[in-house]
Amino acid sequence: MEKILVVDDEKDITEVLSEYLEKEGYKVYSANDPDEADKILSSQNIALLITDIKMPKKSGLELVEKYKKGNEDMEVIIISALKDINMAIEAMRYGAFSYLLKPFNLSDVLINVKNAIERRRLVLENKKYQEELERIVEERTKELKNALKALEESYFHTLKVLVETLDVRDIETEGHSIRVVEYAVLIAKEMGIEDPKFLNDLKIGALLHDIGKVGVPDRILRKKGPLTVDEMKAMRAHTVFGHKIISSVEFLKGAAEIVLYHHERWDGKGYPFGRKGESIPLGARIFAVADAFDAMIFDRRYRKALSIREAIEELKRGKGTQFDPNVVEAFLRIPLDKIIKIKSQTPRRLEDIKEIIKLEF
């Protein structure tokens, strides 16, 4: 039952209206002065205030102003004498629904009351709907954030397991893999590449480039002397094998391509396919420079480390034969201090570079 408050200093009016509106099914309160009205307004949830404008102590306008502020949903109908019509119109500016001119007939009152109550109902319904909508959006956002977090964690965990596999078999150290990621990203950025998907694939591909070596038997992997033709074949298969291992995981598919082509050479003399020039995916061409550089400046089983300067000279010599000339050029544009910094940092673990290998969207 909607509650209506009728305020007028003329008792006749409040009585007539109360009686009539009660009959129409509303719960009606009445007040003959503003103080009384004040009490009711602050204690009851009034849906509609019907108030006179001119009253001895306080004007109806003040009531409207005061209670519309704290309770916007409350509708207001003004009762006004013709001479106070300006005040009635003023009340509309405070959000009053309509005004009734004295003397009014009751059927007009009822139409106004019904319309006012209906407007309130729509406003409230709309508000509720909005709130519900906001709640749903908030909830979904939260769910999505949690899902993303879980995804990121499982993604990171997958990478970690794979990198650790390399470490455990002493195939490639985590330090090398991580430095290659860092060089590769620097080169790509130097080439103006910003595509997040490309960068993601490049990072992960670089990180896992030799994952296929887990499929190469130890006696070949650790053989001191030169490899026989068959052994060489088995060794080179680490590209295809690595691709096979990780391409079944959806978010590693792009990286798998880099793994597959990471030993191709610009001049077509690489493996597994002997692809040439730009038919080798760009990520793999970038990777090749980063990997070769890092391999040169650290001791390897088969040779001593070169200095950074010597390694750079080697890269220059390989321009157009082993390496994509543009990629080498981009590498040469990287400020030396950045390269030295990557080289000289204590070997980092995957946890340290979560930021670097984080998936970009």
The CA distance from 191 to 330, in Å, is: 6
Stretch that binds Fe ion, among 147-155, 205-213, 251-259, 351-359 (CB under 5 A): 205-213
- Asked if residues 98 and 116 have their Cβ atoms less than 8 Å apart, the reply is yes
- DSSP assignment string, 229-258: HHHHHHHHTHHHHHHHHHHTSGGGHHHHHH
Amino acid at site 321: T
Phi then psi for 80, rounded to 5 degrees? -145, 145
Angle at 112 between CA 110 and CA 118, to 5 degrees: 100
Q: Which residue, 13 or 292, is less far from Fe ion as judged by CB?
A: 292
Q: Which stretch binds Fe ion (CB under 5 A): 80-88, 209-217, 277-285, 315-323?
A: 209-217
Cis peptide before 226 (omega within 30 of 0): no
Smallest gap, in angstroms, from Cβ of residue 209 to Fe ion? 6
Residues 137 and 107: their CA atoms lie apart, in Å, by 45
| Minimum separation from the CB atom of position 176 to Fe ion (A) | 6
Under rule CB under 5 A, residue 210 binds Fe ion: yes
- Beta carbon nearer to Fe ion, 210 or 324: 210
Cβ closer to Fe ion: 75 or 210?
A: 210
Report if residue 174 touches Fe ion, rule: CB under 5 A.
no
Residue 160, both tokens: 């970690």
The dihedral sign for the CA sequence 117, 119, 120, 126: positive
Q: Which is nearer to Fe ion, 21 or 216 (CB)?
A: 216
Which amino acid is it at 314? E
Say how many residues touch Fe ion, by CB under 5 A: 2
Rounded to the nearest 10°, the torsion over CA 269, 209, 248, 213 is 90
212 vs 254, beta carbon nearer Fe ion: 212
Helix axes 282-297, 308-318, angle to 10 degrees: 140
Say if residues 184 and 290 touch (Cβ distance below 8 Å). Answer: yes
* CB nearer Fe ion, residue 6 or residue 284: 284
| CB-based contact 337:185 (threshold 8 Å) | no
Between residues 52 and 291, which has the closer beta carbon with respect to Fe ion? 291
Q: Which range of residues in 78-86, 118-126, 210-218, 313-321 is near Fe ion by CB under 5 A? A: 210-218
Q: Does 291 bind Fe ion (CB under 5 A)?
A: yes
CB of 224 to Fe ion, least distance (A): 19
Q: How far is the CB of 190 from Fe ion (least distance, A)?
A: 20
Q: Interacting stretch for Fe ion, rule CB under 5 A, among 5-13, 202-210, 275-283, 328-336?
A: 202-210
Give the shortest CB-312-to-Fe ion separation in angstroms. 18
Q: Which stretch binds Fe ion (CB under 5 A): 185-193, 229-237, 286-294, 340-348?
A: 286-294
User: What minimum distance in Å lies between the beta carbon of 212 and Fe ion?
Assistant: 7
Q: Which two tokens stand for residue 231?
A: 């052994």
Q: Which of 104-112, 206-214, 269-277, 327-335 is the region at the interface with Fe ion (rule: CB under 5 A)?
A: 206-214
Residues that bind Fe ion (CB under 5 A): 210, 291
